[in-house]
């Protein structure tokens, strides 16, 4: 097995949490749920991470408060439409090439990988890149869920400039976004490049210090996701209600149980966009729900009234298994539970709501009201 | 006046040709003609170059055979749709920022600017960048005309890898295309970025050696363009036929005289695309012509038969003044002469025709036949 060491004594290897295949199964389920419909298909991501485990690589997680203030941490994630990510597999070393390009550009050696978004496949991508690089992944992320655009991380919101960044695709192309006049411009240019590259690539942002990460990352994301997966699996095994188990663990609320009666979904500008219509299962069609989608579930309306919106988490779960149904896997007739979880307080500040609240998605008519905890 | 010196004795300042405002007027006309409808509006470019002259900068040209074999030469040009270039002015220092970004990336200091395309505004852009940088422009280019895409230079065709390249926009964004798996991939990714940046930016390609330039650049482009402008101006002054004067100087042939009776033109994928229909002036409508456009004039049909196509030059000239009408300035009812000029032999090799012949534009039904010289 690969040994993960700190070249500069920036962390203590004794603090590492070494993942096994069982953890990956739980992470697949938990990251899928936290993905709020997006973040890339976690099943594909799990297969890639598991393959590395079987080849002798080490998937290791470090509590983010245990990293040295001066450590250089690079956040990495897949960028593109989940729909493309599931139909065209990665080459496998895109993320490593991103890290190497940044290291060469800055003349540095990085100490840890940070997670950009814990939702979906992007929970797996940092593990893969870190294993190939020989460094740990920090137990935190920049979203506490998944969001469709890059400026929507707490890293960007609280002042980190994500450029210079490196973008690599399945073909071997490497683009450095050397300077962007804003985080939004970085997103725009990178997104355009990703579309030209076929719709799914990997991006690593400029290094952050350990000190910054400790202050502004969403904490304990991997612990949360793996724990969530464990709770769902335990409920499945014991024939208990997994939806209730999720709500209990995450202080969430079940908003709706119904079936999908209409589904509009298309790929535009590199995003999966659309809307899902739901009819209540036990209400003889009287109760309705709808979900607006941009890669992730953005807004839930219940009988025409907005009940939950970004940045709070809107989960679409299989009503029996409690596992997430990602937006590209939605199908007519599916029976689903819609569950809402409160987002992390770092996403509810006024500066965060500008970026990840309804306004950040161009939904000017919707006013954010924090989800009431159950 | 700014003094242009060679820091490394890579050229002799005595060989420099220093341009004045009168030269710029001739260059505007000549580069417009060689632009074959594109390359950016040369009037806008001239204003920018003239402004620098009036501020004390030096616009200097060096015969490209006089540069040292080891000199590092960077080609630079505007990239985008001419239509956008004329409606949204440049910030002014985009090209300089490109050069500085490449110098920093490679850890070098460049010795000369090469011209990417002599057609249109892109004849002016290298003069502007070179003046700001304090180096000369070489008397050559990569097209001997204008073409819409970046892989269509003799530099790329004959083996130069144009990445790492730097792309800068009016906003201040800087993107480095660090590695592209092919010249066509470089074009695709850069074009997507340019569209995201608003449709008109500036790009500098990776440095070429003087030795490479001497072998594979189209020679004497600035001499040709300025000489062409002088011939047209002389004809205008002496009330002679400027069209005939152009054909004489460039061994060209007038293919058609007529007026524009239909014009389809739109902006798609960052290019101006369309088709012009012409009716013969003296034929009572019996004689027809049509021109296919992608930024530049690609193919001329005469009474339904293909008469001239890329890479040979198809010029649309004002029938009275002999000056070029760029594709974004075409209007219904204009009276124009269509003139064809033979392209440089470097563009007629089998490897060149793959890229800049009809096939390179997806026009599979058209077989290139070299224009017969007059």
- Interface contact A181-B173, CB threshold 8 A: yes
Length of chain B (residues): 374
Q: Once rounded to an integer, what is the mean pLDDT over residues A158-180? A: 97
List CB contacts (< 8 A) between B174 and chain A: 178-179
pLDDT in tens, B302-339: 999 999 999 999 999 999 999 999 988 899 999 999 99
pLDDT at B48 over 80: yes
Q: How far apart are alpha carbons A156 and A148 in whole angstroms?
A: 14
Residue A160 pLDDT class (50, 70, 90 cuts): very high
Q: Which of A179, A197, A198, A203 to mutate to test the interface with B (most CBs of B within 10 A)?
A: A179
Among B101, B181, B196, whose Cβ lies nearest the Cβ of A189?
B196
Whether residue B216 sits in one domain with residue B246? no
Residue B30 lies in a domain: yes
List CB contacts (< 8 A) between A172 and chain B: 179, 181
Chain B: closest CA distance from residue A37 (Å): 27
Query: How confident is the model at residue A75, as a pLDDT?
Result: 97
Domain stops at, among B192, B222, B252: B222
Q: How far apart are alpha carbons B240 and A304 in whole angstroms?
A: 76
Chain A: closest CA distance from residue B79 (Å): 15
Whether residue A246 sits in one domain with residue A211? no
Query: How confident is the model at residue A343, as a pLDDT?
Result: 97
Tell me which residues of chain B have a C-beta less than 8 Å from any C-beta of chain A.
101, 105, 166, 171-181, 185, 188-189, 191-193, 195-197
Residue B40 lies in a domain: yes
Task: Collect all residues with Cβ–Cβ distance below 8 Å to A147 and sequence separation of at least 6.
Answer: A38, A117, A153, A296, A310, A311, A356
Residue A270 lies in a domain: yes
- Interface contact B173-A191, CB threshold 8 A: no
Residue A371 lies in a domain: no
pLDDT in tens, B262-300: 999 988 877 888 999 999 987 666 899 999 999 899 999
Among A177, A185, A193, whose Cβ lies nearest the Cβ of B171?
A185
Residue B231 lies in a domain: no
For the entire predicted model, the pTM comes to 0.89
List CB contacts (< 8 A) between A192 and chain B: 192-193, 195-196
Chain A: closest CA distance from residue B200 (Å): 13
- Interface contact B185-A193, CB threshold 8 A: no
Domain stops at, among B222, B257, B280: B222
CA B157 from chain centre, in angstroms, equals 16
Whether residue A202 sits in one domain with residue A271? no
Among A176, A181, A185, whose Cβ lies nearest the Cβ of B176?
A176
Whether residue B345 sits in one domain with residue B297? yes
Among B172, B181, B192, whose Cβ lies nearest the Cβ of A193?
B192
Q: Once rounded to an integer, what is the mean pLDDT over residues A146-172? A: 96
Chain B: closest CA distance from residue A81 (Å): 17
Q: Once rounded to an integer, what is the mean pLDDT over residues B13-29? A: 98
CA-nearest residue to B185 within chain A is: A173
Whether residue B90 sits in one domain with residue B24? yes
Q: Give the residue numbers spanning the domain of A325.
A: 242-361
Whether residue A252 sits in one domain with residue A201? no
Whether residue A218 sits in one domain with residue A311? no
Among A175, A181, A185, whose Cβ lies nearest the Cβ of B178?
A175
Q: Identify whether the C-beta of residue B313 lies closer than 8 Å to the C-beta of residue B343.
A: yes
- Proportion of chain A above pLDDT 70, given as a percent: 99
Residue A135 lies in a domain: yes
Chain A: closest CA distance from residue B89 (Å): 19
Query: How confident is the model at residue B64, as a pLDDT?
Result: 97
Query: How confident is the model at residue B374, as a pLDDT?
Result: 63
Q: How far apart are alpha carbons B38 and B31 in whole angstroms?
A: 10
- Interface contact B176-A178, CB threshold 8 A: yes
CA-nearest residue to B164 within chain A is: A175
Q: Identify whether the C-beta of residue B226 lies closer than 8 Å to the C-beta of residue B27.
A: yes
pLDDT in tens, B218-272: 999 999 999 999 999 999 999 999 999 999 999 999 999 999 999 999 888 778 8
Chain B: closest CA distance from residue A275 (Å): 26
Query: How confident is the model at residue B225, as a pLDDT?
Result: 98
pLDDT in tens, B94-126: 999 999 999 999 999 999 999 999 999 999 999
Number of H helices, E strands in chain A: 11, 17
Whether residue B250 sits in one domain with residue B216? no
Whether residue B245 sits in one domain with residue B213? no
Query: How confident is the model at residue B44, as a pLDDT?
Result: 87
pLDDT in tens, A9-39: 999 999 999 999 999 999 999 999 999 998 8
Neighbouring CB atoms inside 10 A of A291's CB total 27
Residue B8 lies in a domain: no
Among A171, A174, A192, whose Cβ lies nearest the Cβ of B196?
A192
Burial state string for A268-282 with b = 16 or more CB within 10 A and e = fewer than 16? eebbbbbebbbbbbe
CATH of the domain at B68: 3.40.1610.10
pLDDT in tens, A111-155: 999 999 999 999 999 999 999 999 999 999 999 999 999 999 999
Whether residue A286 sits in one domain with residue A208? no
Whether residue A271 sits in one domain with residue A200? no
Calculate ∠ Cα A220-A223-A229, nearest 5°: 140
- Interface contact B175-A173, CB threshold 8 A: no
Chain B: closest CA distance from residue A218 (Å): 29
Domain stops at, among B154, B188, B222: B222
Q: Kindly write down the DSSP assignment for every residue of A66-81, as one continuous string.
A: GS-TT-EEEEEEEEE-
List CB contacts (< 8 A) between B105 and chain A: 105
Q: How far apart are alpha carbons B90 and B121 in whole angstroms?
A: 12
- SS3 state of residue B79: strand
Q: Can you give B200-230 as a three-state secondary structure string?
A: EEEEECCCEEHHHHHHHCEECHHHHHHHHHH
Among B179, B195, B196, whose Cβ lies nearest the Cβ of A174?
B179
Residue B373 pLDDT class (50, 70, 90 cuts): low
Number of domains observed in the structure of chain B: 2
Among A105, A179, A197, whose Cβ lies nearest the Cβ of B173?
A179
Whether residue A201 sits in one domain with residue A73? yes
CATH of the domain at A285: 2.40.390.10
Residue A229 lies in a domain: no
Question: B328 vs A9, B223, B280, B320, CA distance in Å?
Answer: 62, 26, 22, 19
Q: Which of B175, B182, B198 to mutate to test the interface with A (most CBs of A within 10 A)?
A: B175
């Amino acid at each position: 097995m690969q040994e993960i060491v700190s070249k500069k004594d920036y962390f203590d290897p004794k603090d590492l949490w070494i993942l096994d295949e069982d953890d990956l199964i739980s992470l697949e389920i938990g990251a899928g749920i936290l993905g709020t419909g997006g973040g890339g298909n976690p099943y594909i991501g799990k297969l890639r991470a598991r393959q590395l485990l079987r080849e002798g690589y080490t998937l290791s997680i470090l509590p983010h408060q245990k990293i040295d203030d001066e450590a250089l941490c690079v956040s990495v994630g897949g960028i593109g439409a989940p729909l493309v990510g599931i139909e065209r597999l990665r080459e496998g070393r895109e993320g490593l090439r991103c890290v190497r390009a940044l290291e060469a550009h800055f003349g540095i050696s990085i100490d840890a990988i940070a997670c950009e978004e814990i939702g979906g496949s992007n929970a797996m991508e940092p593990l893969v890149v870190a294993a190939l690089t020989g460094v740990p992944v920090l137990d935190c992320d920049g979203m506490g869920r998944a969001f469709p655009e890059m400026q929507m991380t707490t890293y960007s919101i609280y002042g980190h400039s994500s450029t210079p960044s490196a973008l690599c695709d399945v073909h071997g192309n490497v683009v450095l976004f050397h300077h962007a006049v804003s985080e939004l411009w970085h997103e725009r240019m990178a997104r355009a490049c990703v579309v030209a590259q076929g719709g799914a690539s990997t991006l690593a942002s400029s290094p952050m210090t350990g000190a910054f990460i400790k202050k502004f990352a969403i904490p304990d994301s991997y612990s949360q996701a793996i724990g969530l997966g464990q709770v769902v699996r335990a409920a499945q095994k014991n024939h208990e209600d997994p939806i209730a188990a999720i709500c209990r663990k995450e202080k969430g609320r079940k908003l709706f149980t119904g079936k999908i009666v209409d589904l509009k979904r298309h790929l535009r500008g590199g995003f999966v966009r659309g809307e899902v219509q739901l009819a209540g299962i036990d209400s003889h069609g009287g109760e309705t729900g709808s979900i607006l989608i941009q890669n992730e579930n953005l807004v839930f309306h219940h009988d025409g009234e907005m009940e939950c919106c970004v940045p709070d988490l809107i989960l679409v779960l299989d009503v029996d298994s409690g596992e997430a149904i990602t937006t590209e896997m939605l199908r007519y007739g599916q029976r689903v539970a819609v569950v809402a979880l409160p987002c992390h307080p770092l996403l509810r500040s006024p500066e965060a709501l500008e970026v990840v609240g309804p306004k950040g998605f161009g939904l000017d008519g919707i006013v954010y009201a924090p989800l009431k905890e159950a």
